[in-house]
Each structure stands twice: as C-alpha cells, then as structure tokens.
Amino acid sequence: MARRKFIAGNWKMNKTAAEGAALVKELKEKLGGCASGCCCSGPDVVVCPPFTTAPAVAAEAKGSCIQVGSQNIHWADNGAFTGELSGAMLKDIPVTYAIIGHSERRQYFGETDDTVNKRTKAALKAGLKPIVCIGELLAEREAGQTNSVCERQARAGLAGLTADDMTTVVVAYEPVWAIGTGKVASNEQAQEVHAFVRSILKDLFGAAVADATRILYGGSMNAANAAGLLAQPDIDGGLIGGASLKAADFAAIVAAAK
C-alpha cells in the first residue's frame, strides 16, 4: 500500500509568536499552494511550535497545506496539573496533531511508557492525531538492545488502542543518539528498525494496520540526507528538529518527500 509521506517539524522551545508566524509565512511561500502539489500530491506537512506560539502559527497556516501540532498533551480533561494542557485546550488553538513521548520529555520531564500511553489515549479522545515517539539511547544501541527498547516502547505506548484508533496515529522512530547531534542513522540502520517496528505493529494490530501506519524517522534529518532516508521502503517521513527552524531547509526536506 502507498503511504502518503509525512514531514513534521518539532520547533521545541524556539520562536516567539511573531517569529513563528514569520517562519510559517516564509514556508508557505517556499512550498507554494495546492496548485504546486503542496497538499494534493506532496506529503502531509505539520509544524509543532511551543504552546504560546501555536495560535499565531495556526492563524498564519490557516487555508494552507501546513497543519499545526503540539509538542505534548496531558491525559486529564482539567485539574491540578500545573504547566500542562488538555486535549480540549489544544483543540482551542487549534492544533490537529500532538507529539507524544519525545525523548526530551522522557529524559528531562519524567515521561514514561505509561504516561505516553495515557497521553496517546487522551489525544485520540480529544480528536487529535498522536505522533508517538520511540527510540533507543546510545548505550542501548551499543548493548544490542535497539529492537527490544523500541518494541517495549511501541507496545506500551500503543497499549489498548484499536485498529480504528491507529488510522490517525503516526509513529516516530527517533534514535536518541541522533537527535540534535548531527549523527544521523544510516539509511540501512534506520530502515532496519522501521521494518522491525512495522512487524510489531503487525503483531499488535494486523497486517492492514501495519501496512497503513506512517513511521517517521527523526534524528538530524536535513536537506542533504533526507532523500536517502525517505527512499527507504519503511520510512514514511521525518520528524525534524533543528532543520525545521529554517524555512529553506524544511522546504527542501518537504521537496525530498515528494
């Protein structure tokens, strides 16, 4: 089955509202409109700005092929969860996607496989599309644990989901040692893990779901290496950090996905 490619930018803690809107404006100019294939024949294009920047970005992106996502979501509808945002609040912005379980959340903010699962279910309940991140640390790769770590994270993060839920879920394989380090996984290394993750999806949800689910690669993807990675049979797109902060670089990755 042909899976539509998917290119998402994770802006992390970068860009004020004015800077974010300016970046989207420039990106729109570089991508061109629907007539140039941006939304009709090209990949899905998503940007995930910080929460405070998201309303201005969503306003600027409105009517274009650029969709907006959040970088997190809380599992509760409301309550005493200082610093968190619920699905309903995110829908207010409005955003369409939510990154969940990014390695920086796992590393610095105590995210666990269990909270990833709760956030994923909350996103689905709110009608948001989860981008569920998995990936091994350098020490885990060196210890030969890449597959077991990814399997554990995928099974736990997606636990309790139905095949129907999976129609809106995107999985991002992000080897932690490649994030923000400039050390990209080779095309072969990335493809090998993507194929393995797809086999786990098959075991969990069946062949049709495994075949239809987009699995993104994340970790120092840029304009120079995107084409090689995106040409791999099980790599359906990218989750891009640093290179998503410059319109020209991000647009070049989108072009590589066409």
- Which residues have a catalytic role annotated? 102, 174
Choosing from 219, 226, 236, 254, the residue that interacts with ligand PEP (CB under 6 A) is 219
Distance between CA atoms of 238 and 219, rounded to whole angstroms? 9
CA–CA gap between residue 228 and residue 49 (Å, rounded): 27
Nearer to ligand PEP, 39 or 150 (CB): 150
Which of 176, 239, 255, 256 lies at the binding interface for ligand PEP (CB under 6 A)?
A: 239
Q: Six-digit token pair at 249?
A: 């670089």
Question: Nearer to ligand PEP by C-beta: 102 or 121?
Answer: 102
130 binds ligand PEP (CB under 6 A): no
* Tokens matching residue 132: 């569920």
Cα–Cα distance, 114 to 66 (Å, whole number): 31
When asked if residue 138 is in the footprint of ligand PEP (CB under 6 A), the reply is: no
Per CB under 6 A, does 69 bind ligand PEP? no
Residue 54 is a binding residue for ligand PEP (CB under 6 A): no
Single out the segment in contact with ligand PEP by CB under 6 A; choices: 61-69, 73-81, 187-195, 235-243: 235-243
171 contributes a contact to ligand PEP by CB under 6 A: no
Does 20 participate in binding ligand PEP (rule CB under 6 A)?
no
> Is the distance from CB of 132 to CB of 200 less than 8 angstroms?
no
Q: How far is the CB of 239 from ligand PEP (least distance, A)?
A: 5
Does 135 bind ligand PEP (CB under 6 A)? Our answer is: no
Residue 220 interacts with ligand PEP (CB under 6 A): yes or no: yes
- Applying CB under 6 A, which of residues 60, 136, 165, 174 lies at the interface with ligand PEP? 174
Residue span 175-214 as binding mask against ligand PEP, x where in contact by CB under 6 A, dash where not: ----xx----------------------------------
Instruction: Give min distance, CB of 21 to ligand PEP, in A.
Output: 21
Shortest Å distance, C-beta 15 to ligand PEP: 14
Residues forming the site for ligand PEP (CB under 6 A)? 10, 174, 179-180, 218-221, 239-243
